Amino acid sequence: MSSLYPALSDPSLLPSRTLVFAPHADDEVFGCGGLLAYLAERGGAIRIVILTDGAGGDPAGLEADIAKARIAESRAAGAELGVTDYRFLSFPDGGLPGAHKLVEALVTELEDFDAGLVFGPSLQEMHGDHRALSHAVLAAMGHSKARLFLYGINAQVQANVMFDTTAQASKKRRAVECFESQ
């Protein structure tokens, strides 16, 4: 009898250099935080690139304060996962669908970090920034030999590879709790 889901893959076979593209601060934790914690425990080099400034939609008009808070929250969440290498590209929150130079920015990050494994949001995501980044990641990957995994954040994603990160669940939970502004 065949399984409804793919068999669990062995994460120890993954490359040791990982680059994560996240549209917003927290997407990397919700999307692939458990696996990032595993890779960090294994001693892998991990860089997280947050594309937007996180300042959109603040009803109090404190966009600059919110952007600073979200950077701090991301770094705190990364510390819970064992990740300290972050880049913040500060594209306007909600502006990735029309962002000029988005693909070029990703290519620059890919060339700078030389990852063996890249994460980006799934094409099945609902949020416009998520979808725009997903398409840009796919376009930028033409310049890379890295393995690509697309992760889900706010939409169920049809999985073709799965990893058991149960042992990292408490780290991911603590990382999620770092995003107090959200």
Q: Which pLDDT does position 7 carry in this prediction?
A: 75
Question: pLDDT digit string (tens) for 15-28?
Answer: 999 999 999 999 99
Contact 55, 62 (CB under 8 A): no
Cβ partners under 8 Å of residue 129, min gap 6: 23, 24, 51, 52, 93, 94, 95, 96, 97
> For residue 154, which amino acid is it?
N
Residue 86 has pLDDT above 60, yes or no: yes
Task: Read off the tokens for 103.
Answer: 């693909």
Average pLDDT, the chain: 91
CA 176, CA 182: separation in Å to the nearest integer?
10
pLDDT 10s digits, 40-82 = 999 999 999 999 998 876 666 666 788 899 999 999 999 999 9
Q: 5 falls in which pLDDT band (50, 70, 90)?
A: low
The whole-number average pLDDT for the span 98-127 is 95
pLDDT at 155: 82
> Is the predicted pLDDT of residue 1 greater than 50, yes or no?
no
Give pLDDT tens digits for 114-153: 999 999 999 999 999 999 999 999 999 997 899 999 999 9
**What pTM, to 2 d.p., does this model score?**
0.93
* Percent of the chain whose predicted confidence (pLDDT) is above 70: 93
Provide the pLDDT for residue 159.
Answer: 80
Structure tokens at 100: 């000029």
